[in-house]
Structures are given as C-alpha cells and as structure tokens.
Amino acid sequence: MAARLDHMAPNWQRDLSSAPGILPRPLYRYLWIEAPHCLPRLCQQWYRGSTLDPRGLAMPASYVAALKAAATPMLLGLARAPFRANETSYAAESLAEVVYRKTRALDRRSIPNMPGAERTLLAASLAAARCAARPLRVIDLGGACGVHYAVAQLLKFPLRWAVVESPAMATRAADLASDELNFFSDIRTANDWLGGVDLLFSSGTLQYMSKPIEALSLTLSLSPPVVVWTRMALVEDGRSVTKTQKSWLSENGHGSMPPGLKDGMVSYPITKLPRSDFLRAHADYELLVEFGAPSAGFIFVRRDN
C-alpha cells in the first residue's frame, strides 16, 4: 500500500481510477456519492491524526500515516474538483458494455441463486398457468441484456420474451436475440413483435424512467393479464420525489467487473412515486400480492381475466 501511495501524483483527474484501490471502498463510496462537501474537513481530520470519518468508518493508523504522507494533496484536489467530472449517464455505452459482458459471462449454475430469481420464477409461473398451449409472451421492462429471461428458462416452458430498454442497452444486446428473446427501445414495437402480452414484468426500472407515471399508463394500456413489479421505490403519500442516484459501473448487472473495462461512476435521476398514485393507476387490476414494505414488489391480475 505504501509503495502505491509513494508513486501517486496529486493530479486527481489522472489518479481517480486508482483511488478505489487506495482508500477503503465504503469510505471512498461515501465521499464520492453521498458527501463530497465533507472532503476538506475529512482531510483535515486525517492530517490531525483522526482515524474516523463523520460516519464512524474506522481507518487503521497505518492508513492515516500513509494518507498524511502522500494522499492528502490528492484528496484536497478531489475536494476542489467538479463532482460530476467522472460520471456518465445511464444510457452511456460504457454501462451497456459492462452489463452486456456480465450477461455473456453469466455462470448458468448460479442463476437459481441470483437475487430476485424467485420472484421472476413466480411471475412467469403465474402467468404461464393462464396461457393455453402456446409460448408465454412477456414484456420485460428494463430487463437489461436478458438476465430475467435466463432465469425464466429454468421453468422449461416455451417463451417469447421482449426486453424493453434504453437505446444503448437494446443496441448492445441485439446479438443475444433469438426466436424467443428480442430487445427493443419502444414498448409498442415490443408488443407488436410478441403479438400480445401475457405478462408485464419489471424489476427496479419504473423509478428510473424520465416520466414514470406516463410510462406506467402506457404500459398498462397494453392490458397485460398479469403485472409484476419488483424492487420498486415509492413514497407513502404526497408528491413524487426526484433525486440523483449514483453507482459504480461495476455495481450494474450480475457478476464481477469484466476484465479490461474501467470502473467509474454513473449518475441518473430516480423518481419515487406516491404509493397511492401507483396503486390508482392499476384500477383495472386486483392486487394479488404485495411483497414487504411499500418499496418492495407487487403482483396484479387484471379483473376481466
């Protein structure tokens, strides 16, 4: 560690890519994502010999000494730097490339143990039970490069799976398409390809759309018999709340960061809808199951089916 620090230059723009390996990852994440305004004060604490940041994240004494000797100039540079200097948008090609390569490298044996796999299987099974002897037609809103399709394949029944994504993601995933799986950036085009929809499935996506209420209305206008939302972000009452969310590129998709790709920050707006507005939009549906607190997941079944 000391050897690496000794060779660091105080130019934050050049050294930013190596900073996650120098600082403890939770502390680095806190500084960059949650409280960049605290950097000058934290640097002063470290220089005085403090081993704690404001949240109580412990730093070994050897770390403090190394930071005092070599890293403090860099950190002061970070504090003065524009916070958005190393960020990209959700639609950026870099994010699509990371998710695409993670999906290509997915170990099929790990699929049953992926977070949320059980809800994908439940959604597909419930919708398939309502189908005749034909493939289950699914619109997967925000399905990345088809990871939910990979989960549903475990059920061994015929599928027609349309992923609706950002243009960058849909374009990058195009070579993964097959007779069963296809990628679109427009939901109506996806519905046309399917010839109708039996299941709308969406995991952690609606809140990241630019106009979530409009997107919700458009989606439900297709009249899917079964609608499943998971990993939702809602507020109990009042008005919608829009904030900026930041994450590492490596935190998107399932699996570790693909070799040869540089990690970095992505930034995108997140809008938390009022729970009452979200439920009101499903006036033609019966709420069959709600998972956990109001921010978890919902299964709706259309009343006329």
In sequence order, what DSSP letters do the residues of 96-121 get, joined into one string? HHHHHHHHHT--GGGGGGSTTHHHHH
**Amino acid symbol at 142:** G
Mean pLDDT by 10 residues, the chain (305 residues): 30 35 44 41 43 44 49 39 36 84 92 91 94 92 96 95 95 96 96 97 94 94 96 89 91 91 87 94 95 79 88
| pLDDT in the model for residue 293 | 62
| pLDDT in the model for residue 61 | 55
How many other β-carbons are positioned within 10 Å of the β-carbon of residue 92? 19
As given in the structure block, the two tokens for residue 147 are 């990871």
CA dist., res. 199 & res. 152, Å (int): 12
pTM > 0.75? no
| pLDDT in the model for residue 60 | 52
**Amino acid symbol at 99:** V
Element housing 47 (H / E): helix 39-48
Which backbone phi and psi does 141 adopt, to 5 degrees?
A: -80, 115
- In the chain the domains, ranked by start, together with CATH numbers, are 2-85 (no CATH), 93-302 (3.40.50.150)
Exposure class string for 42-57: b at 16+ Cβ within 10 A, else e: bbebbeeeeeebeeee
**Amino acid symbol at 36:** P
